[in-house]
Amino acid sequence: MDLFVINRHDESAAPVNEQQNLEKILKRIEKNKELRAIRKAKKKIIIANVKQERERKRKIKRRLEVQEAKQSITHDLNIDKALHDPTFDENDVDISSPKKKEKVDESADTGFTILGGEKFNKNIKKIKKVSEKNGVKYLFPVQAEVIPWLLQAHKRSNIVFPRDICVSAPTGSGKTIAFTLPVVQALMHHKIKKIRALIILPTQDLALQVFRTFKKYTQDTSLDVCIITGKNSFENEQRQLLYRDEAFGFVSKVDILICTAGRLVDHLKSTEGLDLTSLEFLVIDEADRVLDGVQHDWLYHLEKHINSEDSTLQSTRILNLLALKKHKPPQKLLFSATLSQDPEKLQKLSLFQPKLFTSIVETENPQENATNADSFIGKYTTPQELTEKYIICSIDLKPLVLYEFIRLNKLTKTMVFTHSVENTHRLAILLKSLFKDNMKIEEISSNLDVKSRNKLIEDFSAGKIDILVCTDALARGIDLPVVQCVISYSAPKHLKTYIHRAGRTARAGELGLAVTLLHKSQVNKFQSLLQQADKINMEEIKISEENLETLGEQYKQALNDLKKTVVNEQHQDLVKLKSVKRHTVKKKFK
């Protein structure tokens, strides 16, 4: 403005000091020059910042695009978040840096990790603190591989959908903790109670076992674990799951839900307010068995439940991104010692970019090893601490051979597997008669209710029972401390059955023995079965027939006892049946 005034200088006005004016003008010009320079410098900085920011965004976008191409899915929300979050580091979406990639997922390209590595990282140290209390000092190989991977994947789940995983590791190798720890650690900071993890098991007994593990590992957290298997009444289970609040409607009481497939479907159909749309983890333990199970439609009902909520939200057309953020599909985690090799079965689960963790058997033939790596699931393996043997005997002497083998080796803490409930019962009676009071022998089968089964399992674990005769209902997953020996009294028909039976011993690094009783005609079939798991040259145990001859009288007596007991039981059953019939007829005519 001053300059303007000077330009309008009036000659008739008071005398002006020309020199002073000129100096003033020069000073102002100088000052303006400085201001312009400062402004220019500032502009330069701003332009540089904008360029840098543009470059950062371009890099993030590029990385996500590459990742998307690799993983075939990356949702817009992530790009949006990455671009608008100033704290977001482009390296968080690292897929090109081989160093970082190795840390996150060593085998992202193949989706294939062979278990047994000794990699511990900072995540494991964190977990160690939680679990040392529970007797876990070191992580087993399957845990050392799976736990950090899952925690990393969960940490990044807001940026990229985590891949689903399939874990195929030997019996007793610690698979339960491999999913319990990361689920607990990932969920423990949630403030709002919602069902975020669903663990599905094939049987009530296994569900109870996993429930107990989760209870142990959540005791110092605010997480609530619930079990629904049908052991309790339906109404009781409903009360444990949720309550109705006047202001908020249905409110969950549970963070982690353990269930059997059948009971889950019952609740999905009939429990009003049950909400599984916030699931972050869907764990399927003994996955091959769950997928084989009679309750085929659990997955259909679960997906219907989740998707129906999804579609209502999307139909509001608020913002698709919001819907995506809220209804991210749960990460599926499949575990088993004998994970299905049938792609059709796995296909039912529509796994997302499944990553496999397995303990493959190395064969002599490198070509075969390569095929294994490509063919998704490796061969079934048993623990290294397991010794496997077989005995050949005639069918009529089988109970006596079993008796003699147990007696000679002074076996206790032994499980004997038969192929049917009836067989289990008869064998238990025979063994009780043969051993008299020298051994405590009990039987477990589906004839007993859950409470009696649990009591027997507890007694066996406490060493109060020496020999437990059982059906294959107890072959899978049950974790009984220090089983010294597993005897397959009836030869297993399938490799899977053999692996799971034998897997009740040699658990968690302990030594164990698995013995199979075979008739001559069964030997070839048994050997070719085991060849599928690269088990060749299994040692035979010989039981001298001469020794058995001296037991003739004892055996005769035992067979008599068996006959008497069976006749007695049949009579009692008949009396019971008649009484029930009489009762029903009376009721009808009342």
Ligand X SMILES: Nc1ncnc2c1ncn2[C@@H]1O[C@H](COP(=O)(O)OP(=O)(O)OP(=O)(O)O)[C@@H](O)[C@H]1O
Contact footprint for ligand X (CB under 6 A): 135-136, 138-140, 143, 169, 171-177, 337, 477, 479, 503, 507-508
Tell me how far CA of residue 518 lies from CA of 39, 75, 85, 249, 337, in angstroms.
Answer: 94, 57, 67, 61, 24
For 538, residues 6+ apart whose C-beta sits below 8 A from its C-beta are: 388, 389, 390, 527, 530
At its nearest, how many Å lie between ligand X and the CB of residue 481?
Answer: 7
Sequence-distant (≥ 6) Cβ neighbours of residue 448 within 8 angstroms: 456
Residue (175 or 453) nearer to ligand X, CB:
175
If the CB atoms of residues 143 and 340 are measured against ligand X, the closer one turns out to be 143
Question: What is the closest distance, in whole angstroms, from the C-beta atom of residue 47 to ligand X in the complex?
Answer: 57
In the bound state with ligand X, the residue whose beta carbon lies nearer, of 124 and 518, is 124
Q: Is 177 or 431 the residue whose CB approaches ligand X more closely?
A: 177
Q: Give the residue from 42, 326, 332, 341 showing the smallest Cα distance to 192.
A: 326
Nearest to 488 by CA among 500, 506, 477: 500
Quickly list DSSP for 128-157.
Answer: HHHHHTTT--S--HHHHHHHHHHHHHHHTT
With respect to ligand X, which residue has the nearer C-beta, 380 or 405? 380
**Minimum distance between the CB of residue 482 and ligand X, rounded to whole angstroms?**
10
Residue 172 beta carbon to ligand X: minimum distance, rounded to whole angstroms = 4
Close Cβ partners of 17 (under 8 Å, ≥ 6 residues apart): none
Nearer to ligand X, 329 or 383 (CB): 383
* Rounded least distance, CB 444 to ligand X, Å: 17
The nearest distance, CB 214 to ligand X, in angstroms, is 12
Strand pairing of 242-245 and 249-252?
A: antiparallel
Residue with tokens 């201001």: 35
Q: How is residue 117 written in tokens?
A: 């590595």
As a three-state string, the secondary structure of 319-368 is CHHHHHHHCCCCEEEEEECCCCCCHHHHHCCCCCCCEEEECCCCCCCHHH
* Beta carbons of 268 and 301 less than 8 angstroms apart: yes
Consecutive H or E run containing 515:
strand 512-518
CB of 541 to ligand X, least distance (A): 25
Query: How near is the Cβ of 123 to ligand X at its closest, in Å?
Result: 15
Contacts of 130 (CB under 8 A, 6+ apart): 181, 184, 185, 217, 220
Which residue lies nearer to ligand X by CB, 143 or 445? 143
The distance of closest approach from Cβ of residue 206 to ligand X in the complex, given in angstroms and rounded to an integer, is 8
Give the whole-angstrom CA distance, residue 92 versus residue 94.
5
Phi, psi for residue 436 in degrees, rounded to 5: 50, -130
Q: Which is nearer to ligand X, 82 or 150 (CB)?
A: 150
For residue 450, which amino acid is it? V
In what helix (H) or strand (E) does residue 236 lie, and over which residues does it extend?
helix 234-241
Nearer to ligand X, 176 or 238 (CB): 176
CA 13 to chain centre: 97
Nearer to ligand X, 380 or 555 (CB): 380
Question: Whole-number minimum distance, CB 415 to ligand X, in Å?
Answer: 13
